[in-house]
Amino acid sequence: MSDVLLRDQIAGALKDALGRAAGELGWSGVDGEPIKVERPENPDHGDYATSVALRLARPVRKPPRDIAEAIRERVKVGGPIASVEALNGFVNIRVDLKWLASQVDEIVRADKQFGRSKALAGKRMQIEFVSANPTGPLTVANARGGPLGDALSSVLEFAGAAVEREYYVEDTGTQFDTFGRSIAIRYRQLHGENIEIPPDAYPAEYVKDIAAGIKAREGDKWMKLSLEEQTKRFAPEGVEWVLREAKRVTAMLGIHYDTWFSQAELMRSGYFEKTLAELRKLGKVYEKDGAVWLEASEAVDDKEGWVLVRSNGEPGYLGKDIAYHVQSLRERAFDKKIDIWGSNTHYHLIQMRAAMKVLGLLDRFEVVLYQYVRFLHEGVLKRMARRSGEFLLLEDVIEAVGKDATRYFFLQSSADRQLDFDLELAIQQSNENPVYYVQYAHARIASILRTAAERGITSDGGDVALLTEKGELDLVRLALRLPELVDDIRQHYGVHQLTTYALELAGAFHGFYRDHRVVDDADVPRSKARLRLVLAVQVALRQTLGLIGVSAPDKM
RNA sequence: GGCCCCGUAGCUCAGUGGAUAGAGCAGCAGCCUUCGAAGCUGUUGGUCGGGAGUCCGAGUCUCCCCGGGGUCGCCA
């Protein structure tokens, strides 16, 4: 494959033509308008189109049609560009059909490289996702960040970046202590002590399981400790249990982290004090009521500041998170850190942006916020909350509908949209999950290839120049959309578009299959050419499913 | 109350300011002696929540209103 996207080649040709038109006709004001090239919905409007002439009408002070015509006359036709047309102020471009057919060979040859680019070559990026409080098992609510973060990581890798998938373990602070205390209380209860679970503790069964595990291994060995001593003793053990679970369940989803980064270690590294000192030096920190505050008035109108260190001397979450981000970007030298967060951190995001701005790191800090996942519990929509004990375990969902359907479900809608999860419905409808529609197309192609091989026909030596029908070339057009999509997503992070694309490509193939016989003993040359075509479609499907993190089966 | 997200077909949702708003599911009518029917074809279904505005052009941008969700702590 060429290193330059066809879309960008066309944009370049248009820009070149526009520049010469402006020079020859004495136009001014054309430089400010970027040339956006899109794929028109209506095939009558060509393969690619730009509306730049419409946008330039005002600055150039010419009718759009005249501008479009002037561009059309000057676009150099050749290579992938077969023809140019000016219509209603648009400039429409048609791709050369021979060139298009030749791309089948390029796609097949690229195979696992198809869709990859060097756009982000040399960039190191850290994507942090899921990272739920290590105080309990993963629920469907925390889980949404998994497929989003993993797929985004894959896309950025496709675009050439060196990506590190990170799970941030928040193993310090109040919730951590509360978790330890909850285990300690259960441990005491198991030894017959009459002690109640306080309302702010974690009440759920798994806490009992952890306590029972400790009792089974070590008996009453810790009963002589005070509750506070037990809390300190059991909290790390609880976190260990939680992380083991998190590792196991994310692996069930096909997610594998490069780093599990401990907040406790961050605190021991001294980075917190270092960051605090830097903020102090910048004059953005002040003391009040025995606490240390970050200046906030520049970022938010009616707020004076936010606490970095509490009056009891304990670092607050905001302070720790600022230090964490500084550590990633400076110490570990990532060019960019992208966090996948639930929308309940919206206010935290405002705080973090303010802090990153002060530290000069704002342009290296990005966040994808996803809206909350609710679940249907006994017919009522509820928020999941581990502290209330009401949640739906991610593991249960994966076991019920499978990894592929689970991932596909979470990637179908944009992060901005709220999701409601009904387990019963999900199980009932799991066979209708669109993921099977896409996988079926992949398996169907595999089956065609098997059938062909049985009849002694392979794609080897197939001449793609024989691919001239519209139905054939439309498949190539669509397959070539993948590299463009990867380039889009690396910029706007909208990974859900991968599922839409997968569905579109699969649908196009299913339609093609109905109208075109691939394996035909009476016409071996054409069969070979079409085998190469379906192979190219299979490559595009497999690459797309790979980015989504869903398997591409040869049989179903 | 301030800030953020959402409101598009019966349901679930796509839709970088472009040309005639789409898909899956559900409904209806069809299609397997031939490469996989987990499929295909046709068809029903829309005041893009409502109203103003910006623009050559608005589902998309701005403002107001309505409805749903989130958030605003020396918790994380």
Identify the domain containing residue A388 by its residue range. Answer: 373-430
- Per DSSP, helices labelled H in A222-365 are 227-252, 263-268, 271-281, 317-326, 346-358
Is the C-beta of residue A436 closer than 7 Å to nucleic acid chain B? yes
Domain count, chain A: 3
What pLDDT does residue A282 have? 95
Q: Which pLDDT does position A506 carry in this prediction?
A: 94
Per-residue pLDDT tens digits for A314-353: 999 999 999 999 999 999 999 999 999 999 999 999 999 9
Q: Which two tokens stand for residue A133?
A: 């409080």
Is residue A379 exposed (0-12), middle (13-18) or buried (19+ Cβ within 10 Å)? exposed
DSSP A439-505: HHHHHHHHHHHHHHHHTT--STT--GGG--SHHHHHHHHHHTHHHHHHHHHHHH--TTHHHHHHHHH
Give me the residues of chain A with pLDDT under 50, please. Answer: 1
- A328 belongs to a structural domain: no
Q: Do A543 and A440 belong together in one domain? A: yes
Whether residue A453 lies inside any domain: the answer is yes
Contact between the CB of A196 and strand B at under 7 Å: no
Phi, psi at A125, each rounded to 5° = -130, 140
pLDDT for position A406: 92
Q: Judging by beta carbons within 10 Å of its beta carbon (0-12, 13-18, 19+), is residue A263 exposed, middle or buried?
A: buried
Do residues A292 and A322 lie in contact, with contact meaning Cβ atoms separated by under 8 Å?
A: no
Q: Are residues A482 and A498 in the same domain?
A: yes
The whole-angstrom separation of Cα A92 and Cα A88 is 10
Whether residues A380 and A483 fall in one domain: no
Q: Is the CB of A310 under 7 A from strand B?
A: yes
Looking at A388, A414, A430, which one is the last position of a domain? A430
Last residue in a domain, options A49, A79, A95: A95
CB A137 within 8 A of CB A393: yes
**Residue A2: what pLDDT?**
54
Q: Helix (H) and strand (E) counts for chain A?
A: 21, 14
Q: Would you say residue A10 lies in a domain?
A: yes
Are A536 and A445 in a shared domain? yes
Q: Which nucleotide is nearest to A444 (CA to C1')?
A: B36
From A50, A66, A95, give the residue that closes a domain: A95
Here the CATH number for the domain that contains residue A541 is 1.10.730.10
Same domain, A13 and A65: yes
Does residue A362 sit within a domain? no
Shared domain for A506 and A405, answered yes or no, is: no
Return the residue matching tokens 């398997």: A551
Residues A407 and A507 in one domain: no
Q: Is the CB of A300 under 7 A from strand B?
A: no
Could you give the CA distance from residue A446 to residue A509 in angstroms, rounded to a whole number? Answer: 13
- Same-domain status, A532 and A477: yes
Nearest-angstrom CA–CA distance, A344 and A389: 18
CA A456, A457, A458, A463 dihedral sign is: positive
Check whether residue A445 and residue A520 sit in a common domain. Answer: yes
Spatial distance from the CA of A369 to the C1' of B4 (Å) = 10
Q: Which helix (H) or strand (E) holds A551?
A: none
Nucleotides on strand B lying under 7 Å from protein C-beta: 2-7, 12-16, 18-20, 22-26, 34-41, 55-57, 68-76
So what's the pLDDT on residue A372? 85
Within 8 A by CB and 6+ apart from A52, the residues are A14, A18, A33, A35, A36, A67, A71, A91
CA→C1' distance for A368 and B65 (Å):
30
A543 in the same domain as A444: yes
Distance of alpha carbon A230 from its chain centroid, rounded? 40
CATH of the domain at A69: 3.30.1360.70
Task: Look at residue A445 in the predicted model and tell me its pLDDT.
Answer: 96
Residue numbers in A 154-183, CB below 7 Å of strand B: 170, 173-176
Does residue A423 sit within a domain?
A: yes
Distance A359 CA to B43 C1' (A): 61
Q: For A348 and B71, how far is CA from C1' in angstroms?
A: 9
